Chain A
Amino acid sequence: MTSIGTGYDLSVSTYSPDGRLFQVEYAHKAVEAAGVAIGLRCKDGVILGVERLLHSKLLVKGANRRIASLDEHIGLASAGLLADGKHLARRGREEASSFRENYNSPVTVQILSDRISAYLQAYTCYGSVRPFGLSSIVGGVDKTGPKLFCIEPSGVYYGYRAVAVGKGKALAKTELEKIVNKNLESGTEGGLTVREAIDEVARIIYLVHDDNKDKDFELEMTWICEESGNKHALVPEDLLKSAEEKAKAALEEGMEED
């Protein structure tokens, strides 16, 4: 890395001569080491999925989740440093509840993402702090419909139809593009239903995982849709199971073709 030894990569309060903040770029590296996280916006809701890598066989099943609820109707999936993710989710919950306190109505996904991103950005302005080692996907259904955003360590955030962050995000994104393009061509933007999307997200996560030849993982999926009462909730066990089986079958099929 060209930045090493130049002295411009020690603090986020000093630009390099070509106008980069190396600490922020290093934070992106921390994200790339994490298991993939995927968000998919459908016509009737939003799906969040995470490949939670298991560093030990002794871990309790379902422990250390990487998807958190920020409010009834909004979920946050993060890729990067686990503890940073927990802190950010806590902050997000506080923002969401303070919005309710002030305005007596649920916060929209856009406004909450904006506030979280402002918080992240503040950690790119001072020499005394380090930026968050996180890319976060914020998804939810509010009065404006299903919404999906991704916030980077720098504090920038964009709205997406579908997004992937973490290890193997490139492969995941090409798969997501295929799905989105198919819907765009058939003239039904966001034409997927959440039920269909569960299978797709599971398939992509299994595919990405297989491609990386990584240690064991647990698939973690949540949704916000009519079926979950427009609340952020875990995808029911039976749906998750069947999606995983289909994903494994699709992988086998893919291998035979190779």
Chain B
Amino acid sequence: MWKQPAPANSSFNDYNTFPLPQTQRGQSSHAHGPVGHTQQPLVTGTSVLGLKFDKGVMIAADNLASYGSLARFRDIQRLHPLGKHTLLGVAGDMSDFQWLKKELDALLREEDALALSDSHPSLSPKNIYELLSNLFYARRSKMNPVWNAVLVGGWDKVKEESFLAYVDLLGTTYTAPTLATGFGAHLAQPLLREAFEAKAGINGDGPLLTQEEAEKVLDDSMKVLFYRDARSINKYQIATITAEGVSISDSKSSDTYWKFAEGLRGYGAQTQ
């Protein structure tokens, strides 16, 4: 889903096996070298799924950070809570994600410190989402994008309703009761929508899924993603955000079925 890291001197990259970026030589630069902009992601996370249910919102992401096609880091949490009622699910470049965490945590820490003296309300999910949207759009306009696609999930304490929205490296924003980034937008979004609309109807005005139902749909969708997305692993977490706050599950795996693979020809060790 994320652009393959490719060496500068190759016009094609059939096997996606060259994750190392090449420095471009012979280009003019200032004394401190050329201004560095993120031009490709290196270590990446794949799909994030988001789904509203009757008591809040759930966000799921697997634990893999890939280095090109290599499953490099297999124990990475891509769900990050911000305060009591907001959570980010992040796909794309993991170093940009780490930078984002650091910046937002610092901002929230300052907000908390100020709140002790003047008791102003804490940042709502919507506040954090607008801030991210502005940041991502400003950075892509400087030709230096924050290379991520982010789902912001949360609980709005004032309106007493759940919040779910999307923003990506181009500054694109939208919101829906079911959301997915990357491959998930192709593979999982239809499944999420189908389950959501089966109960809530096409306008979403019927009853929403229960917590158990929502978790089941996400489990199924993560399984499909593991089967069909080559940048995923079978180890993922689901975050649940309700009026009570954020809770992030331990990592879990889907039961998978591979018996059919024995009959396949053209892969593996068979000679005939």
CB atoms of B116 and A97 under 8 A apart: no
Whether, in the assembled complex, B109 has its beta carbon less than 8 Å from a beta carbon of chain A, the answer is yes
Contact of B112 among A72, A104, A222 (CB under 8 A): A72
How far apart sit A68 and B112, CA to CA, in the bound complex (Å)?
A: 11
Question: Contact check: which of A65, A72, A100, A101 meets B117 at CB < 8 Å?
Answer: A65
- C-beta contact mask, B79-123 vs A, less than 8 Å → 1, else 0? 000000000000000000000001000100110111011110000
**How many angstroms from the CA of A222 to the CA of B102 in the assembled complex?**
27
Chain A residue numbers with a CB within 8 Å of B102 are: 104
Which one of B113, B114, B116 lies within 8 Å of A234 (CB-CB)?
B116
Q: Indicate if the CB atoms of A101 and B106 lie closer than 8 Å.
A: yes
| A97/B117 in contact, CB under 8 A | no
Q: Is A5 an interface residue (CB 8 A)?
A: no
* Complex: A65 Cα to B119 Cα, angstroms: 10
Q: Closest CB of chain B to A48's CB: distance in Å? A: 11
CB of A69 within 8 A of CB of B119, answer no
Query: How many whole Å from A116's CB to the nearest CB in chain B?
Result: 15
Q: Which residues of chain B have C-beta atoms less than 8 A from A192's C-beta? A: none
Residues of A within 8 A of B109 (CB): 71-72, 97, 100
Contacts of B114 in A (CB 8 A): 69
> 4 new A-B pairs (CB below 8 Å) besides A69-B117, A97-B109?
A65-B117, A67-B117, A69-B114, A71-B113
Q: Chain B contacts of A222 at CB under 8 A?
A: 116
Task: Summarize B's interface: helix, strand, loop or mixed.
Answer: helix
* Neighbour of B113 across the interface among A62, A93, A101, CB < 8 A: A93
Measured between alpha carbons, how far is A93 from B113 in the docked complex, in Å?
A: 8
Q: How far is the CB of A234 from chain B (nearest CB, A)?
A: 7
> Which residues of chain A in 24-75 are interfacial with respect to chain B, using CB atoms and an 8 Å cutoff?
62, 65, 67-72, 75
A203 lies within 8 A of chain B by Cβ: no
Contact of A67 among B112, B116, B118 (CB under 8 A): B116
Contacts of A62 in B (CB 8 A): 119
| Cα of A104 to Cα of B119 in the assembled complex, Å | 27
Min CB distance A102 to B, Å, is 12
Which residues 211-258 of A have a CB within 8 angstroms of B? Answer: 222, 232-234
B residues apposed to A, CB below 8 Å: 102, 106, 109-110, 112-114, 116-119
Report which residue of A62, A67, A69, A71 has the largest number of chain B beta carbons within 10 angstroms of its beta carbon: A69
Q: How far is the CA of A101 from the CA of B102 in the complex (A)?
A: 8
Interface residues of A in 58-96 (CB under 8 A from B): 62, 65, 67-72, 75, 89, 93
Q: List 26 A-B contacts (CB under 8 A).
A: A65-B116, A65-B118, A68-B113, A68-B116, A69-B112, A69-B113, A69-B114, A69-B117, A70-B113, A71-B109, A72-B112, A72-B113, A75-B116, A93-B110, A93-B113, A97-B106, A97-B109, A97-B110, A100-B106, A100-B109, A101-B106, A104-B102, A222-B116, A232-B116, A233-B116, A234-B116
Contacts of A69 in B (CB 8 A): 112-114, 116-117
What 7 A-B pairs have minimum CB-CB distances, sorted nearest first?
A: A69-B113, A69-B116, A65-B117, A68-B117, A93-B113, A97-B106, A72-B109
* B109 closest partner in A (C-beta): A72
Which of chain A's residues have a CB closer than 8 A to the CB of B116? 65, 67-69, 75, 222, 232-234
Cβ of A247 to closest chain B Cβ, rounded Å: 23
Within 8 Å CB of A71, what residues of B?
Answer: 109, 113
Q: Smallest CB–CB gap between B42 and chain A, Å?
A: 20
Bound Cα distance A219, B113 (Å): 20
Residues of A within 8 A of B110 (CB): 93, 97
Bound Cα distance from A65 to B117, whole angstroms:
6
Find the B residue at minimum CB distance from A62.
Answer: B119
Residue numbers in B under 8 Å from A89 (CB-CB): 117
CA–CA, A72 to B116, complex, Å?
A: 11
Bound together, the chains give a CA A65 to CA B114 distance in angstroms of 11
Give A104 to B106 CA distance when docked, in angstroms.
11
For A100, what are the chain B residues with a Cβ–Cβ distance below 8 Å? Answer: 106, 109
